Structure 1
Amino acid sequence: MPNYSIIQKDFYRESGKWLSTFEIWKKCLNPNLHFIYIFRKAQKYRKTSVLNVFWKFVLRHYQIKYGYQIYPETEIGEGFYLGHWGSLVINPKAKIGKNCNIAQGVTIGQQNRGKNQGFPIIEDEVWIGTNAVIVGGISIGTNSLIAPNSYVNFDVPANSIVVGNPAKVYPSNNATDGYINNKI
């Protein structure tokens, strides 16, 4: 595979095609893709003084406009996909692997006390449904599906489906089949 940029890899997830710079700009009419584009630019220029200030300012504007609270410090792997436009909160210290889908209303946050104090680590190919809450120093394994409205504050093994509040884990080798398309 040629050396595609992380933005091209993110946009590939939506279309299943490798896009030129012009085609990426055209896709930015979609608020989800537009935010991802701005987010990735803010990440890229985090260590450059003038461009850092510019892209952080632009990112802040679009955080308010679109309702996404994702910061450039957040480690998110390539192939990131936002399923729907709407409120979304991801703690800057959370880590998210590649080819992950996140729907609207999701909170990925810290827990300040107790045995799971800390921030979530979400591995590769995880699908997180609408209004799911993932909190604490926990790990969500590869190929896991977090169902809509689930509350997860415990480790989830790879190849699992998590449902409910309180959440229950169901093993499944094909948990994300048909949910995570156009993988990088």
Structure 2
Amino acid sequence: MADQHSILQKDFYRESGKWLSTFQIWAKCINPNLHFIYILRKAQKYRKTPVLNIIWKFILRHYQIKYGFQIYPETEIGEGFYLGHWGSLVINPKVKIGKNCNIAQGVTLGQQNRGKNEGFPIISDEVWIGTNAVIVGGITIGSNVLIAPNAYVNFDVPANSVVMGNPGKIYSTENATEGYINNKI
């Protein structure tokens, strides 16, 4: 059933737990987080259409500045993407994010320019990233992982884990994101 819904509908489903019509999606765009996701998904959809690409990139740039979300159309983001709070979010365009991921404000998902972990993070499915967390480098975060607020992660994290602290420390747990990632698609 869920496969007949668009990526945008799946993103908005995460917020309400309901499948929404186009009009209902527009009405929800009063929320800055959802409004930005709407604009981002349109910019991603029209990346390969010359005129619409320019228009949607221009619109996206306006809202990046307005809302403080630095996320680009080139960033691979799975369905069911959820931004928990408004503002101050930086995601490198080469980062890959799986489905049903939550990201709070103040988060940085960035590049590491040298060393053994040179590169960009890969975030798997059902990952919850808390306020002011920093995830950098050519690392992989497994599925069902909770990155606690203010954690610094520059190492691979296995599935079914919680990471806390700076430097981050891994705690294995089967229910890492239970109660944190709602309305999964």
CA distance in 2, matches of 1:90, 1:175: 23
Matches within 5 A, 1:78-117: 78-117=79-118
Could you tell me the percent identity over the aligned residues? 84
Per-residue displacement from partner, 1:8-55 (whole Å, max 9, x unpaired)?
Answer: 000000000000000000000000000000000000000000000000
Residue in 2 that maps onto 1:12: 13
Question: Can you give the 5+ residue segments of structure 1 that lack an aligned partner in the other structure?
Answer: none
Task: Provide the residue aligned with 1:32 in structure 2.
Answer: 33
The DSSP-based 3-state class of the residue aligned with 1:56 is helix
Equivalent pairs counted in the alignment come to 184
After superposition, the C-alpha distances for 1:84-104 in whole angstroms (9 at most, x for unaligned) are 001000000000000000000
Normalised TM-score (structure 1)? 1.00
User: Partner of 1:62: helix, strand, or coil?
Assistant: helix
CA distance in 1, matches of 2:38, 2:48: 18
In structure 1, the residue matched to 2:76 is: 75
Query: What aligned pairs does 1:50-65 form with structure 2 within 5 A after superposition?
Result: 50-65=51-66
TM-score by length of 2: 0.99
> Which position in structure 1 is the counterpart of 2:176?
175
Report 1:137-152 matches (<5 A): 137-152=138-153
Measure the CA separation in 2 of the matches of 1:89 and 1:99: 19
Partner of 1:164: 165
Distance 2:92 2:86 in 1: 18
Per-residue CA deviations over 1:93-138 (Å, capped at 9, x if unaligned) read 0000000000000000000000000000000000000000000000
Looking at structure 1, the residues matched to 53 and 31 of structure 2 have their Cα atoms a distance apart, in angstroms, of 24
The separation in 2 between residues aligned to 1:19 and 1:172, in whole angstroms, is 34
Superposed CA deviations along residues 32-82 of structure 1, whole A, max 9, x for unmatched, are 000000000000000000000000000000000000000000000000000
| Aligned counterparts of 1:56 and 1:167: Cα–Cα separation in 2 | 35
Structure 2 residue runs of 5 or longer lacking an equivalent are: none
SS of 1:38's partner is helix
- Alpha-carbon offset, residue 143 of structure 1: 0.0
Indicate the RMSD between aligned Cα atoms, in angstroms.
0.4
Q: CA deviation at 1:147?
A: 0.0
